[in-house]
Amino acid sequence: MIPLSHYLVVSAVLFAIGTAGVFLRRNLITILLSIEIMLNAVNLSFVAFGRQFGNLDGQIIVFFVMTVAAAEAAVGLAIVIGLYRHKESLNPDAFASLKW
């Protein structure tokens, strides 16, 4: 049986990669993908902790996280399509009209 700490380290590394992606990339689709990486890192933590505590709550929370991720991807991609229609660009720096 692999100890819990190993899973937590993997989860932390994945979350860090996702965070770095949100900050470093200049493409809206890649930023959304980085958010998915972060959600999956948290899911891994939930399942590992659920096994450690000996109950199923961790797996059920993961089910809800997946549903929210699906809703987020649908709305997020619809917004991306709308933004691309306006400016012909996926660079988040192109959408600075509300900034001053």
- The residue ranges that bind other proteins (CB under 8 A) are 1-8, 10, 13-14, 17-18, 20-21, 23-27, 29-30, 32-34, 36-37, 40, 43-44, 47-48, 50-57, 59-60, 62-64, 66-75, 77-82, 84-85, 89-91, 93
Closest separation in Å from C-beta 87 to other proteins: 11
Cα dist. 52→17, 64, 66, 85 in Å? 25, 20, 21, 48
- Considering the complex, state which of residue 23 and residue 100 has its C-beta at the smaller distance from other proteins: 23
- Considering the complex, state which of residue 7 and residue 95 has its C-beta at the smaller distance from other proteins: 7
Closest separation in Å from C-beta 100 to other proteins: 19
Closest separation in Å from C-beta 45 to other proteins: 11
Q: Which of 76, 60, 69, 79 is nearest to 40 (CA)?
A: 69
Question: What is the CB-side half-sphere exposure of residue 53 using CA atoms within 13 A?
Answer: 11
Q: Any idea which residue has 């990486």 for tokens?
A: 37
Closest separation in Å from C-beta 49 to other proteins: 10
Q: 42: how many CB neighbours lie within 10 A of its CB?
A: 16
Backbone angles phi, psi at 91, to 5 degrees: -80, 120
